[in-house]
Structure 1
Amino acid sequence: MSGSFTEQRNELSHLASESCHLRQAFKDDAQRAQRYTTRACGITLDYAKNLINDASWRALQQLAANSNISKLREQMLQGAAINNTEQRAVWHTRLRQQDVTGLMLDGEDIGQQITECRARMAALIDTLHQQQYLGYQGSPITDLIWVGIGGSLLGPQMAVEALTPYHCSPVKLHFAGNIDGAVVSDILNGLHPATTLVVVASKSFGTEETKQNALAIRQWFTEHGADKAAIAHHFWATSSNIAAAAEFGIEQKNILPMWDWVGGRYSLWSAIGLPIALMIGNQQFKQLLAGAEAMDQHFFSAPFSENMPVIMALLGVWYINGHGCQAHALLPYSHYLRLLPSYVQQLDMESNGKSVNRQGHALPYATAPVIWGDAGTNGQHAYHQLLHQSALAVPADFILPLKVKHPLKDQHSRLAAHCFAQTQALMQGKTLAEATAECVAQGMTEQQAAALAPHKVSPGNKPSNTLLLPELSPYYLGALIALYEHKVFCQGAIWQLNSFDQWGVELGKQLSGPIYQALTGNGSNNFDSSTAALIKQFLAAQNSAS
């Protein structure tokens, strides 16, 4: 492949139009699974059940070689401002380096800052675990409320859930994200201010949802007799706006740093990972970082033909720009990974859901897919019907830990059987002849079988990846998260866009201000007819309730 991605996309479409029948491909090639399987950091990726052959895979490999991946990757490592619209470096990978000695950026000793932040986090967590952090009435802290939203919430919440078997904290953790008042109200019900610690996670310390939740919790402290000194003792923050945090009432010694070179959706490796470290302990948190660093090293050094993030990125581009797919299913066969699809939604869709390139010119092709999914086997009794029989093509990632901590080993074998069966069924499908024979074997007449069989046909030829983790440990979770980060990075490089800004979230925030004023009687209802009618109905409901 040569020329711009627009020209390359045309070649992808041409290659995709050539028939590829997976059932037949496996019959014809006994080595297909072996050739289309790769391993990195202990994780196995079987991508043999994808709509690729030698010719299309060579073309995709050439696409990677002709892309900006290598150049952009090197610029990222050097600390160049590859987030060009905000003039920021992208250095979240540095946060999981074990050795950060002498790490400099724009004349600042970033390595020292990272080391100091890690030490402060570890000291706080040790104090909490040893029940030596005493509240304003002298009792140990029993509960911690983490207040954040977006990247300040989704990453730590997902990882804390994923690593449940590793929890070792005497302190209970509560996540407050949504501005819906029910969230904070439910959390505070049953807690006691004198034994509750609050951490406010906001880079700007101005994000509306986070600020309003923090204010509501501070008011709760005040209503229970906490004075200014008590509130200062019970509130921590992770923010880059020290002045705003101090104005809120948080002492500088209780403020952990956030850096411009770390985007929110890449921040769980920083002080935003404090809830993870709290729940699994400092040593296991280091293992999470080590797994991510191992995947970094693989991504930075492995040839594209063996590079797991590059392979997954190319397959995604193949389906979006070659086959016209608009969605991608993420299907973890692990109860503890059930929040992973929500996390990857932000990682992928906020990063690459763009319509202009790095220079601001309109892109003539689609970029990020809609990411969705849930834990298996729940999805099999819900949306897998669409995956198997709909005319829509939805590529899917199936993720399975091979070993588990719980004692119900036979149930894990059954779970694995379902996982593997789903990928097989999507690949091979069920023909009309097979469905008819099945009906006859069940005792139906030929007429009955002919009537029912079409409803049992599955076309097959539906693509999927299977990712196998040795176990769902902090190390392998870190590697898995970094894998998806680098996959998104590679796709952004191929599509020639900036994966590290998110200007699309701004408009709704801007418009909500005047609407809030109208809803609270402090502004005019001078909006389009639909919005004005909605505001009028809301106000009527509030007035009738009072």
Structure 2
Amino acid sequence: MTDREAIADLWNQIERLETPELRGVFDADPSRLDKMVMSEAGIRFDFAKTHLTDTSLALFLRLTEAVDFEVKRAAMFAGEAINVTEGRAVEHSAERGEGKAQSVDIARASHARMRTLIDAIEAGALGEIRHVLHVGIGGSALGPDLLVDALAREAGRYDVAIVSNVDGVALEEAFKGFDPRYTLLAVASKTFTTTETMLNANSAIQWMREGGVEDPFGQVVALTAAPEKAMEWGVDETRILGFAESVGGRYSLWSTIGFPAALALGWDGFERLLEGAAAMDRHFRHANPMENVPLRAAFIDQYYARALRCQTRAVFAYDERLRLLPSYLQQLEMESNGKSVKADGTPVYGPTAAITWGGVGTDAQHAVFQLLHQGTHIVPVEFIAVTEAGDALDPAHHEALLVNCFAQGAALMQGRENAADPARAYAGNRPSTTILIEDLTPESLGALIAFYEHRTFANGILMEINSFDQFGVELGKEIAKSIEKNGAKGFDPSTMALIDIALGDI
């Protein structure tokens, strides 16, 4: 049997697995809690209320060997060009100190340059700065936005607004709370050619000029892997913070793209974030497959995608500070693994990335949980909670939050029979994972985000795809540019009518 035939055979066996009844798994295996609960970097990962069993776990471990998981994991940390379609290494972990020595040194130098600039800003080298306006899109905005919202609410260092949408309403909303004379503009773009970002940046420069700033470019910092483009646009070389081409956009918050978070948190907070991620890096890099937390989570993802054909995965953060996490994960997971061909260009076997969606508890309980409990869709659910409260109010608030979180997972698994009134019956046997963080700190958030990054990579290896390109986003950009240049010509009648009605002669 060839390697390809062996892999296909393992997938066939996984797809034919019998689905156990969750309500009976603890009775069937009294040691299940020990097997299915894993702790790392101050985070408890409870996979016990999923359908993964010793049998399915054994198959996935064999699949791990068949796809050379350990070899490919080592190749990533060694700085080899595992992004085969673009001929690049994948080195976001080097930004945290884990990777090829040369790349780690380059990342440290980049961070040192960023710290020097932050020290200068804090010392008043750019004048009095009270506000930070960060413009970017995709990974250049989602990561920094998550960090600032989760960790810097009470830091009181700067007012930070992160704008990604090209809709002028978003930029105007940020302008309302800021004085342009005391505003630092951070422009984040890997290529420094991203249409939406540069349009927002130019509008911000105009706003600063109209607000009395004689030299607005003197209050601009560029975050990019293309420093020459930033200089062409008008940013002084001393205020350009570069990062490596081998750091992908959706993995870039650890690089200089994290500049607004480093400003808002202070350098010590940013370093703690990096160390928390590095702790998860070390675990993922060295733990054997049986004890590897991100890999175990990937097994569960693949079980539900392949064996039960679940098309979505829901993530609910039972902590207001993590409200942006589901949006962050949407890009991380769906842009990485939303592919239809393997790394070698052949068609992928079976479904790839689930559709990631979610919200914030307890709000979601009164919105979407009806479908999760009694609908016809089977949706694996992920609950994320924090043991320590993030507020100083009556402890009843946090107790109610945690009780609701744990109750939802128990209810999804347990269900309720009601022969007298089927409308009040709950099927149960619905899977969930609970991730419990001791305290939301820079270290724990860094470890959590790194966990999701490595889980995404592990899923890609199991499916034999390249998780690090994103050509699917390019076609829409190309067509948009064509419309801007040529107008309503050469498109389908529907598109031409929309352009004519809404835009007229452009």
Match of 1:243 among 217, 224, 228: 228
Describe the superposition over 1:228-285 as per-residue Cα deviations: whole angstroms up to 9, x where unpaired.
xx22311110112222211211111110002111000110000011111111111111
Give secondary structure in 1 for the equivalent of 2:284: helix
Give secondary structure in 1 for the equivalent of 2:231: helix
Counterpart in the other structure of 1:143: 131
Match of 2:341 among 356, 359, 378: 356
Counterpart in the other structure of 1:49: 49
Match of 1:152 among 116, 132, 140: 140
Give secondary structure in 2 for the equivalent of 1:236: strand
Change (3 A) 1:455 1:502: same
Q: What are the within-5 Å matches in structure 2 for residues 421-432 of structure 1? A: 421-432=407-418
TM-score normalized by structure 1?
0.88
Q: 1:8, CA displacement in angstroms?
A: 1.9
C-alpha separation between the residues in 1 aligned to 2:488 and 2:46?
58
Change (3 A) 1:309 1:432: same
Match of 2:165 among 178, 203, 216: 178
Report if the CA contact (8 A) 1:125-1:278 is conserved. Answer: yes
Report which of the two structures shows the higher radius of gyration computed on alpha carbons: 1
Which runs of no fewer than 5 residues in structure 2 stay unpaired? none
Describe the superposition over 1:175-205 as per-residue Cα deviations: whole angstroms up to 9, x where unpaired.
1111111111221234332211101111111
Report if the CA contact (8 A) 1:129-1:169 is conserved. Answer: no
C-alpha separation between the residues in 1 aligned to 2:157 and 2:92?
30
Match of 1:486 among 426, 448, 454: 454
C-alpha separation between the residues in 1 aligned to 2:199 and 2:433?
42
Q: 1:337, CA displacement in angstroms?
A: 0.4
Report if the CA contact (8 A) 1:64-1:314 is conserved. Answer: no
Match of 1:221 among 203, 208, 211: 208
Report if the CA contact (8 A) 2:318-2:405 is conserved. Answer: yes
Report if the CA contact (8 A) 2:96-2:254 is conserved. Answer: yes
Counterpart in the other structure of 1:413: 399
Q: Quick check: 1:13 aligned with 2:15?
A: yes
Which runs of no fewer than 5 residues in structure 1 stay unpaired? 105-109, 434-449
C-alpha separation between the residues in 1 aligned to 2:284 and 2:274?
15
What letter matches 1:144 in structure 2? Answer: V
C-alpha separation between the residues in 2 aligned to 1:413 and 1:63?
41
C-alpha separation between the residues in 2 aligned to 1:240 and 1:294?
26
Counterpart in the other structure of 1:445: none
Counterpart in the other structure of 1:320: 305
Change (3 A) 1:28 1:185: same
Report if the CA contact (8 A) 1:235-1:250 is conserved. Answer: yes
Describe the superposition over 1:123-168 as per-residue Cα deviations: whole angstroms up to 9, x where unpaired.
33334445x2443xxxx11111111000100011011111145x42
Report if the CA contact (8 A) 2:107-2:243 is conserved. Answer: no
Give secondary structure in 1 for the equivalent of 2:178: coil
Describe the superposition over 1:477-516 as per-residue Cα deviations: whole angstroms up to 9, x where unpaired.
0000000100010010010010000000000000001222
Report if the CA contact (8 A) 1:231-1:249 is conserved. Answer: no
Give secondary structure in 1 for the equivalent of 2:186: strand
Q: Which moves more between the two structures, 420-429 or 32-41? A: 32-41
Q: 1:209, CA displacement in angstroms?
A: 0.5
Q: What are the within-5 Å matches in structure 2 for residues 58-457 of structure 1? A: 58-97=58-97, 103-104=101-102, 110-130=103-123, 132-135=124-127, 140-164=128-152, 167-227=154-214, 230-408=215-393, 409-433=395-419, 450=420, 453-457=421-425
Describe the superposition over 1:450-492 as per-residue Cα deviations: whole angstroms up to 9, x where unpaired.
3xx2001111111111111111111000000000100010010
What letter matches 1:115 in structure 2? Answer: R
Give secondary structure in 2 for the equivalent of 1:403: coil
Describe the superposition over 1:387-423 as per-residue Cα deviations: whole angstroms up to 9, x where unpaired.
1111111101111111123223221111111111111
Q: Which moves more between the two structures, 311-320 or 242-251? A: 242-251
Q: Which runs of 4+ in 1 moved over 6 A?
A: none
C-alpha separation between the residues in 2 aligned to 1:128 and 1:468?
37
Give secondary structure in 1 for the equivalent of 2:359: coil
Give secondary structure in 1 for the equivalent of 2:38: strand
Q: Which moves more between the two structures, 270-279 or 504-513? A: 270-279
Report if the CA contact (8 A) 1:128-1:171 is conserved. Answer: no
Report if the CA contact (8 A) 1:169-1:278 is conserved. Answer: no
Aligned residues: 503
Counterpart in the other structure of 2:499: 535
Change (3 A) 1:19 1:239: closer
Change (3 A) 1:258 1:82: same
Change (3 A) 1:44 1:279: same
Report if the CA contact (8 A) 2:319-2:385 is conserved. Answer: yes
Give secondary structure in 2 for the equivalent of 1:422: helix
Identity of matched residues, %: 41
TM-score normalized by structure 2?
0.95
Give secondary structure in 1 for the equivalent of 2:360: coil
CA RMSD across the alignment? 1.9
Q: 1:111, CA displacement in angstroms?
A: 4.0
C-alpha separation between the residues in 2 aligned to 1:39 and 1:94?
24
Q: Quick check: 1:515 aligned with 2:487?
A: no
Report if the CA contact (8 A) 1:45-1:468 is conserved. Answer: yes
Q: Which moves more between the two structures, 254-263 or 118-127? A: 118-127
Counterpart in the other structure of 2:465: 497
What letter matches 2:415 in structure 1? Answer: G
Match of 1:459 among 421, 427, 438: 427
Q: Which moves more between the two structures, 350-359 or 35-44? A: 35-44
